[in-house]
Amino acid sequence: MTGFLKGCATAMVTPFGADGEVDLGRFGEMTEYQIQGGVSALVVLGTTGEPATMSEDEKSKLIKYAVERAAGRVKIIVGVGSNDTKKAAFQARRAEELGADGVLAVTPYYNKCTQDGLILYYRAICEATRLPVIVYNVPGRTGVNLLPATMARIAELPTVAGIKEASGNMAQVMETMRLIRGKCDLYSGEDALNVPILAVGGTAVISVVSNLLPAEVSMLAEAVLARKLYTANALSDRLAPLVKACFTEVNPIPVKAAMKLIGLDAGDPRPPLTPLSEEKLGMLREALSIARGEATR
């Protein structure tokens, strides 16, 4: 299927309060900030949302709250996926039951399954829910690279909406696009590659940096899709130092630190992740100032 997602979707952080518990009130503030910034969707419980350290009860409460708070103003896409196919299917069913608009299913991790195993995995998820399913390829985290030929086969599943590509390999991204064009969509899963991925046929970005500057990332996506590349490149140049700073340590450590700088305190990441160092916080502060147009490089 095509046309499910266009423009900018934000890979939302999960805010934790001083007691370490999920702060739904702060998540609501972040939701309103994103909607005001013009994003088209919120991705809840993706990598940036730290689901690996959350209980199933916490996840259910956050999904339910996100759906109710968004109230149809933007799409709510829920991160699912596991190294256990049955668990991934369960999470997809739960997302549908709680009112989500779609699911983002990361490839199995640690097990290092075969390419045929990936096809069976996504088929099981699609059979578990009527929601649109976004495939998520991020081999740097999972240890498994979903190859273009494999994605071409997965794209035949009728409820597969697209693939979030975070392999970092533009040659692979372009080959995937060639093979799935017209069957399902391609989404950028790396802020540093938003412009080129959209330029070769992508329809949306699923962004970490838009937690901080949703309006700017939305404008960048819209500019590329409208083929206004001069505007898109100017925005990309301004955002580039911030993109770099947001990945100086593993996501979401830097972006959670940066949320405090814009007045939306998301708390610290849960262990084993650690707070950002003071040295890198300074780099982040300067990059944020550049991205906002408050300073020059």
Q: Across-strand partners of 163? A: 135, 186
pLDDT in tens, 228-243: 999 999 999 999 999 9
* 101 located within any domain: yes
* 284 located within any domain: no
The rounded percent of the chain whose pLDDT value lies above 70 is 99
Known catalytic membership, residue 244: no
Label residue 124 exposed, middle or buried (CB < 10 Å: 0-12, 13-18, 19+).
middle
* 240 located within any domain: no
3-state secondary structure of 13: coil
User: How far is it, in rounded angstroms, from Cα 75 to Cα 187?
Assistant: 15
Measured CA to CA in angstroms, residue 77 lies from 35, 67, 94, 263, 271 at distances of: 14, 9, 12, 25, 25
Known catalytic membership, residue 136: yes
- Give residue 218's domain range: 7-229
* CATH code of the domain covering residue 64: 3.20.20.70
* 282 located within any domain: no
* 280 located within any domain: no
**What is the structure's pLDDT at 278?**
87
3-state secondary structure of 41: strand
pLDDT in tens, 71-109: 999 999 999 989 999 999 999 999 999 999 999 999 999
Nearest to 85 by CA among 61, 113, 57, 65: 113
Q: Which residue has the tokens 């990936």?
A: 118
What's the chain's average pLDDT?
96
**What is the structure's pLDDT at 288?**
92
User: How far is it, in rounded angstroms, from Cα 256 to Cα 233?
Assistant: 26
Which of 59, 75, 164, 256 is an active site residue? Answer: 164
**What is the structure's pLDDT at 297?**
43
Note whether 202 and 250 are within 8 A (CB).
Answer: no
| Distance between first and last Cα of the chain | 42
**What is the structure's pLDDT at 295?**
54
**What is the structure's pLDDT at 292?**
87
Does position 294 have pLDDT exceeding 90, yes or no? no
Q: From its phi and psi, is residue 168 left (phi > 0), alpha (psi between -120 and 50) or beta? A: left
**What is the structure's pLDDT at 109?**
94
Note whether 74 and 34 are within 8 A (CB).
Answer: yes
Say what the alpha-carbon torsion angle 79, 83, 86, 91 is, to the nearest 10 degrees: -10
Judged by average pLDDT, the poorest of 49-53, 108-112, 190-194, 277-281 is: 277-281
Which of 65, 121, 122, 136 is an active site residue? Answer: 136
Does position 287 have pLDDT exceeding 50, yes or no? yes
Angle (CA) 281 282 288, round 5°? 85
* 285 located within any domain: no
**What is the structure's pLDDT at 296?**
47
Q: What is the mean pLDDT of residues 26-32?
A: 97
pLDDT in tens, 182-223: 999 999 999 999 999 999 999 999 999 999 999 999 999 999
* 159 located within any domain: yes
The more confidently predicted of residues 181 and 20 is: 181
* 248 located within any domain: no
What's the total number of domains in the chain?
1
**What is the structure's pLDDT at 81?**
87
What tokens were used for 223? 């500019």
The rounded percent of the chain whose pLDDT value lies above 90 is 96
What tokens were used for 15? 């805010």
Nearest to 16 by CA among 288, 243, 279, 259: 259
